[in-house]
Amino acid sequence: MDLNKLLKPRKMAVVGASEKPSTMGGDLLHNIKLWGRMEDVYMVNPKYDTIFGEKCYHSISDIPEDIDTVVICTSKKAVPGLLREAASKGCKGAVVYASGYGETRDEEGKRAQAELTALCHELDMALMGPNCGGFNNYIDRVCSFAFIIEDRNFRGNIGFVSQSGQLCQSLMENTTRFSYMMSVGNCSTVYVEDYMDFLVDDPDTKVVAVYVEGIKDPSKFISTLQKAARKRKPVVILKVGASEKASALASSHTGSMAGADKAFDAIAKKFGVIRVKDLEELHAISTVLSTLPELPAKPTFSAMAFSGGEGVVCADSAFYNGINFPDFESETRDALQAMLPYYATANNPLDMTFTMSYDSDVFAKALRTVMDDPNIGMCLLCFTILQKNIAPDVITMIEGIEKVARQGKAKPMAFVPLMENTRERALAERLAAVGVPILPPTHYAFSTLRHLADFIQYNADEKDLDLPVATKGQTVGAGTPVALTERVSKEKLGKYGMVRCVSL
Amino acid sequence: MDLNKLLKPRKMAVVGASEKPSTMGGDLLHNIKLWGRMEDVYMVNPKYDTIFGEKCYHSISDIPEDIDTVVICTSKKAVPGLLREAASKGCKGAVVYASGYGETRDEEGKRAQAELTALCHELDMALMGPNCGGFNNYIDRVCSFAFIIEDRNFRGNIGFVSQSGQLCQSLMENTTRFSYMMSVGNCSTVYVEDYMDFLVDDPDTKVVAVYVEGIKDPSKFISTLQKAARKRKPVVILKVGASEKASALASSHTGSMAGADKAFDAIAKKFGVIRVKDLEELHAISTVLSTLPELPAKPTFSAMAFSGGEGVVCADSAFYNGINFPDFESETRDALQAMLPYYATANNPLDMTFTMSYDSDVFAKALRTVMDDPNIGMCLLCFTILQKNIAPDVITMIEGIEKVARQGKAKPMAFVPLMENTRERALAERLAAVGVPILPPTHYAFSTLRHLADFIQYNADEKDLDLPVATKGQTVGAGTPVALTERVSKEKLGKYGMVRCVSL
């Protein structure tokens, strides 16, 4: 199946369109009108002749031209007929919000999902869902996400695929910027790994970020990771199911089988996948990879702090995460010492004292001195941006950073606060504009930098990227849902935790 | 030295008082006028006859009555003379902001600090600082903190002692509520452990929270911890210096010797001290201990999630931190199952589905059902409070929680979000009013609950709380700064990581 018609439709139909708020059809239209390509959307509802003063069609068949994608806001019962009707208009993509399918614990739901899947294969229809929230394509202004979210500029380069709509909404309320944001639900027909493959190929996506409860097509998953590793496109995965409790819950959430956690870890290591433990970590590393103009040449860090206390806490947090602050070269030390008051010491981490914060030229000079040290790969600014009082220092620092960025040949930089720090969104956006992300508080900051360090040290050329995925008596990859089982993966895990072969 | 005159003065003098913003004397007066007992403050400055229309004295000696505490906003040079002058007015407490003392790397600074210390002992003067930010006593409305912070209700029951002023400001910008907030700097005369001892005794303080770079009087420290353990008053300590880099930086920040990290860990374990790794964790566990009306009877948790995805992520985060979600009793399961749609399962964690979120009575009934399960010690609500769209659900849930709280016999509850969640301060305060804290995102949430579980399982009665603190040739405790050294602590650490004796 080709996902281009689903995710990049020229024309789209919304069935169940309405003016009513707090309905799927009403909230979706609200979103489309806000930022989507409304001119390429056909509204369909047998109850209305017009919606918001624009023509509403009574059926899909009434639409005067072919459509690429249909968004179905109705309940489960109407879905099969609507899919057939859409297919007759050349439609190859569908978004189905309705629930009551494979996520239920009864046979009826599972049968309904099997029938839906069979129908989609018959119609060659790439279906997102069921039991999903839809997607937003911020590159082409295609909106099919049915939940109301705040109005801000979301366009960026992170492609996010999620089996949870609530996780999408949580990221959208933060500062994350997306190329695509997809709430994909049960993945009856198109799997998480298919969306990932699309995003690895997509030139507008710099970072592929994923929340997944279960992989259904290991062969496609592996080939996607191979491709990403060879392209050096970062893949960040929050794959749950480390615990039995989570596995059980995932099964009743999207009907997924969480599979073997250790096998997943080994696969992540082999292909340089960044496996994160929660959503905050996914957000942080994705934002860093999305924001930095280029990655550090080596995983060594400098830290500059305005407050000794902040520097000390960061030094310990870095230590807990294996992040290394090498000593400065003697030339660097001498240059910094000349800028510091007599009582201060040019260590790394560096307690800058007040002398470096009152003038952006002085701060820029100090930052450039640290940055030019050959031992340093990336520069951290350990500072909690407070709203009151310290504002002049923050502005001085940001102006200094902008000056250094404008000079060119800047090494990567990031802010590390001790407490949550994105309330000042205008400052965060000003920093992002010169390629400087603000990280979450210290534990998350340094676990994120650990992921970054591991990613830049991963070299696909040194790895054997072959991983035969065998099955018992059948070839996987033709849409048969399977999971990496614990028993098999333990048998097949090679020494050093490397997966050599995964049977299913 | 008695800290009561320093921290609970009847009358206080501010030397260097001024109307000028961005000066220590000016910003301090701004703060005092905002919420302090201005009527008990004497302003002193030889340059002015009035400040803000009120009388300014030209010298301490001119003040018509005795004072308990003097806050010195001048530079280092004037300090000794001012302390002698204050002593002649019966003053027994002083706050000195000036820097250039023991935190410098030159002999002059260290000599100045030794002289200052000797003078304070001569005058029996409890001095906070030097190189400090001052303190706020929110119980008696005494303000000596010289940095501008936002205007909100800070009064609560957390006593915070910090060797970093910036860390104080960071907590103050968050939702932390204090009995006392102290930026104590170099601790030349009064040590961190002395302030801790005051807070352990203080009836207005429920939680003692500490940022410390070095312990100077182990004997006092140990006796304070013994007292706290016997009273079951929680002590939360962020003690830096796990890494060499942090130790070196602490030395140049406040002149502290970080001491042996492993010995500190063993002492924390012996006395039930909650040792945290960073400021966010300190904030989180302090807030939980401060907000919960009572502690859980046992360290077993239930989780209720509106979104399956959030429940799954929380289940794994809990697993990583050893937090246990026991199965519900069959009566609980049956009662919950009757409230759920046919396709959902009454697991713990519980995916509530939409059926439990539309009506606060229904939600309250579900919460009470879970709460009454005998296997459960504390109820978690795994939910990221979003600002848009989900607001009705949030309000429903909060109303349900309020109903359960009003019924009485409620077990402890907390919110666990997947991303930072205190932007909605009005909601956070509404929940805090019924004893329900909002935790930071999952890693911090579950490491905080781990600390809580450990704290409630700690039983001082089962521990030998004696810990002889011996010295080589001298008795420690008379103001001689010493640190627990790695060599000695390793020698003296008993089996099972218990400290039996610490020599110095």
Residues of A in contact with B417 (CB under 8 A): 170
Give the three-state DSSP class for B280. Answer: helix
- What architecture is domain A295-457? 3-Layer(aba) Sandwich (3.40)
Does ipTM surpass 0.85 in this model?
yes
Which residue ranges in chain B fall short of pLDDT 70?
A: 252, 254-259, 387-391, 421-423, 469-504
Residues of B in contact with A313 (CB under 8 A): 167, 238, 240, 246, 278-279
Apex B267 CA angle, B264 and B273, nearest 5: 100
Q: What is the pLDDT of residue A398?
A: 92
Q: What is the pLDDT of residue A37?
A: 96
Per this entry, what is the length of chain B?
504
How close, in Å, is residue A102 to chain B by CA atoms? Answer: 10
Q: Residue A475: pLDDT above 60?
A: no
Distance CA A306, CA B285 (A): 26
Q: Give the pair of three-digit tokens for residue B394.
A: 């949030």
Q: Is B354 within 8 Å of B483 (Cβ atoms)?
A: no
- What architecture is domain B294-457? 3-Layer(aba) Sandwich (3.40)
Distance CA B119, CA B101 (A): 14
Smallest Cβ–Cβ distance between A245 and the set B213, B319, B389 belongs to B319
Q: A443 vs B242: CB contact, 8 Å cut-off?
A: no
- Sorted by where each begins, the domain ranges of chain B are 4-212, 294-457
State the pLDDT confidence band at A295, using cuts at 50, 70 and 90: very high
Q: What is the pLDDT of residue B486?
A: 39
Smallest Cβ–Cβ distance between B307 and the set A166, A242, A316 belongs to A166
How close, in Å, is residue B418 to chain A by CA atoms? Answer: 6
- B358 interface with A at CB cutoff 8 Å: no
Q: Residue A173: pLDDT above 90?
A: no
Q: Is A236 within 8 Å of A282 (Cβ atoms)?
A: yes
Q: What is the pLDDT of residue A255?
A: 67
- A104 interface with B at CB cutoff 8 Å: yes
| Ramachandran angles phi, psi of B70, nearest 5° | -120, 130
- B451 interface with A at CB cutoff 8 Å: no
Q: By CA distance, what is B250's nearest residue in A?
A: A312
Q: What is the pLDDT of residue B485?
A: 43
| CA B140 centroid distance within chain | 18
Residues of A in contact with B174 (CB under 8 A): 419-420
- B35 interface with A at CB cutoff 8 Å: no
Q: What is the pLDDT of residue A106?
A: 81
Q: What is the pLDDT of residue B256?
A: 62
Report which listed range, A163-167, A475-479, A493-497, B202-206, is most confident: B202-206
Count CA atoms closer than 13 A to B285's CA, side-chain side. 30
- What architecture is domain B4-212? 3-Layer(aba) Sandwich (3.40)
| Ramachandran angles phi, psi of A155, nearest 5° | -70, 125
pLDDT digits (tens, 9 = 90+) for A188-227: 999 999 999 999 999 999 999 999 988 889 899 999 999 9
Run of H or E residues at B162: strand B155-162
Burial class (CB in 10 A: 0-12, 13-18, 19+), A434: middle
How close, in Å, is residue A67 to chain B by CA atoms? Answer: 30
Find where tokens 């520097």 sit: A311
Q: What is the pLDDT of residue A478?
A: 32
- A326 interface with B at CB cutoff 8 Å: no
Same fold: A4-212 with A295-457: yes
- B348 interface with A at CB cutoff 8 Å: yes
Those residues with Cβ within 8 angstroms of residue B46's Cβ, 6 or more apart along the chain or in another chain: B58, B59
More confident residue, A309 or A92: A92
Q: Give the pair of three-digit tokens for residue B9.
A: 């003065």
Q: A418 vs B279: CB contact, 8 Å cut-off?
A: yes
Distance CA B183, CA B133 (A): 5
- What is the spatial order of strands in the sheet that B350-351 belongs to? B350-351, B301-305, B378-382, B413-416
Q: A167 vs B106: CB contact, 8 Å cut-off?
A: no
Q: What is the pLDDT of residue B260?
A: 72
Q: Give the pair of three-digit tokens for residue B246.
A: 């942090």
Mean of all residue pLDDT scores within chain A: 88
Q: A316 vs B243: CB contact, 8 Å cut-off?
A: yes
Distance CA A424, CA A504 (A): 49
Distance CA B182, CA B256 (A): 17
Q: B317 vs A443: CB contact, 8 Å cut-off?
A: no
State the pLDDT confidence band at A63, using cuts at 50, 70 and 90: very high
Smallest Cβ–Cβ distance between B343 and the set A109, A238, A443 belongs to A109
- B442 interface with A at CB cutoff 8 Å: yes
pTM for the whole thing?
0.90
Q: A246 vs B315: CB contact, 8 Å cut-off?
A: yes
pLDDT digits (tens, 9 = 90+) for B356-377: 878 999 999 999 999 999 999 9
More confident residue, A267 or A252: A267
Q: Is B282 within 8 Å of B209 (Cβ atoms)?
A: yes
Average pLDDT over residues A240-264: 73
Q: What is the pLDDT of residue B257?
A: 55
- A173 interface with B at CB cutoff 8 Å: yes
- B191 interface with A at CB cutoff 8 Å: no
How close, in Å, is residue A108 to chain B by CA atoms? Answer: 10
Upstream peptide bond of B203 is cis (omega within 30 degrees of 0): no
**Helices H / strands E in chain A, number of each:** 17, 20
Q: Is B275 within 8 Å of B237 (Cβ atoms)?
A: yes
Lowest model confidence (mean pLDDT) among A125-139, A280-294, A331-345, A477-491: A477-491
Q: Is B58 within 8 Å of B46 (Cβ atoms)?
A: yes
Q: What is the pLDDT of residue A392?
A: 72
Pinpoint the alpha helices (H) of A434-495: 442-457, 486-492
